[in-house]
Structure 1
Amino acid sequence: MTTTTTTTTTTTTTLITGANKGLGFETARQLVAAGHIVYVGSRDAERGRRAAERLGARWVRLDVTDDVSVEAAAKTIEADGGLDVLINNAGIESRGADNGVIGAAEVTAEHMREVFETNVFGMVRVTHAFLPLLRRSPAPVVVNVGSGLGSLTRVADKSSPAYGYPGVAYPASKTTVNMITVQYAKAFPGMRINAVEPGFTRTDLNGNTGVQSVEEGAEIIIRMARVGSDGPTGGYFDAEGPLPW
């Protein structure tokens, strides 16, 4: 996949939700190294502060499921000078008492609601709150961290590893993320808004069962966070290129 990257300067300000660990933390680490001013968004104050100190980043309390928290974070970042890049990284996967994936026979509306509250409504809540700041940026970018399990094509293909995933709530939420990404990209053609699939990465989300490192998983997030104004928008990508919807 060929994309155009911006010339990175210290004036590029980036917010990453759920950034005190895992892919969010690694993405923050690499973007700080690239010269970005990075805000570590974390709902846990102590973990967020510690992560920001380790990274040389800034910390802002941000619980994507809470309107007051999100609005306060937006006011803080606005007062500090604004925002250029938003990375919607925070996400959860609902599991049962035995820590197993909740399949179609067991999933309830409550399971679906719990996952959608963070993965879908939380993403929209944050994006909506920061849109005024992004629209003032000369090169606004939004990266929605999705999943290959959000691809209807892959999940329905018996030859794909995604076919064997039995869960309902998580892949449904990530398919919704894809649709939201497309609709926002059409509504705001001056922004670069894309969904990305980091791959099966070792994080707490999957009990560290993933097959690749956070460094590998963060690569596509960082690439799309640094996309230029003439780069793709409304797309769905992994490290190899565009993915089928």
Structure 2
Amino acid sequence: MEGGVTASSFHKRVAVVTGANRGIGLEVCRQLASGGATVVLTARDEKRGAAAVDALRELGLPDVLFHQLDVGEPSSAARLADFVRDRFGKLDILVNNAGVSGVRMDIGDPAALHQVRTSMSAVERLEWFNQRTTEPFEEAEKCLRTNYHGTKNVTEALLPLLLSSSDARVVNVSSSYGLLRFFSREELKHELDDIENLSAERLDELSELFLKDFKNGRLDHHGWPVGGFSAYKVSKALINAYTRVLAKKHTSMRVNCLDPGYVKTDINFHTGVLTVEEGARGAMMLAHLPKEGPTGSYFNGTEQAPFV
């Protein structure tokens, strides 16, 4: 493979950002590269990913490379790890940003979006979306496979390279929808909050249990979130828990998760209230935490917050 590990490559921070051809992911790539990091921009669509890299290079940021990545496929994550290993020999920053909503949305007349963007509060906008979504099982399954298992696939594949860094950071983009307040049964809430006894294997089991209950129409049985975006909420709660499990196991790294806020991106038809520059602030802060900074924590933007 072209390139290879050189003495100078170990003196520059190397970052990987998933789901990075647009939105928050692209902005994180721009800010990391502007700060001097070498950035591997990943996306599932090769044409869109390559175009995003070209756009950043036109801004005078040459140290951005593209590598195709489907986070839901372990073999794709393994190919990315091989690329980073052969090219750099280590990884300093991993931003897991790739994600899907877990719903199908029918917005009706596109002209209505103008009114949503200009005359509704953030709460009203979310309610507007809730009224226009359906949650078929296929979308729920894709949501867990992408948001939770995909993040875990990529992190596990790149973990040896992160551990090769003297100062690694893992940033998992989550959501306030992943907070435990959306779960109705105390037993499940306690289990997801019991980091001393929780394991990644158990989180995998909970993912499968949720999909089984979802398919059988029994979300209330174990206290899963209801009332809209159920799979998205569960996927982000599992990511929050996985963040804590990983941080507890690998204390040499700073591993954190965050809600970037309600950002204007394609996933919400640009009805958010924050710009992508504002939405990237939390991820950038966590990517540059000092060695003694927090780990295994949840952040609302740039402020540390509880998991409940």
The 2-side partners of 1:25 and 1:186 are apart by 29
Residue type matched to 2:297 in 1?
A: G
What's the counterpart of residue 15 of structure 2? 14
Q: Summarize the alignment of residues 94-109 of structure 1 with structure 2, pairs less than 5 Å apart.
A: 94-96=102-104, 98=106, 107-109=135-137
Please list the CA deviations of residues 23-72 of structure 1 after superposition, one character each: whole Å capped at 9, or x if unmatched: 00001101111111011011111111111122231111111011221111
Normalised TM-score (structure 2): 0.70
- In structure 2, which of residues 72, 78, 86 is the aligned counterpart of residue 65 of structure 1? 72
Aligned to 1:139, what secondary structure does the other structure show?
Answer: coil
More helix per residue: 1 or 2? 2
The 1-side partners of 2:298 and 2:264 are apart by 21
Q: 1:106 to 1:27 in 2, by over 3 A?
A: closer
Residue type matched to 2:283 in 1?
A: I
Matched, 1:212 2:280: no
The 1-side partners of 2:105 and 2:181 are apart by 30
Conserved in 2, the CA contact under 8 Å of 1:178 and 1:236?
Answer: yes
The 1-side partners of 2:47 and 2:74 are apart by 20
Matched, 1:110 2:117: no
Q: Summarize the alignment of residues 155-194 of structure 1 with structure 2, pairs less than 5 Å apart.
A: 166-194=228-256
CA RMSD of aligned residues (A): 2.4
Number of residues paired by the alignment? 230
What's the counterpart of residue 6 of structure 1? none
The 1-side partners of 2:135 and 2:43 are apart by 28
- In structure 2, which of residues 149, 153, 170 is the aligned counterpart of residue 125 of structure 1? 153
Unaligned runs of 5+ in 1: 1-8, 157-162
The 1-side partners of 2:102 and 2:226 are apart by 17
Unaligned runs of 5+ in 2: 1-9, 108-127, 185-224
What's the counterpart of residue 145 of structure 1? 173
Conserved in 1, the CA contact under 8 Å of 2:281 and 2:302?
Answer: no
Structure 1: which 4+ aligned runs deviate by more than 6 Å? none
Conserved in 2, the CA contact under 8 Å of 1:40 and 1:59?
Answer: yes
What's the counterpart of residue 77 of structure 1? 84
Conserved in 2, the CA contact under 8 Å of 1:153 and 1:244?
Answer: no
Residue type matched to 1:93 in 2?
A: S
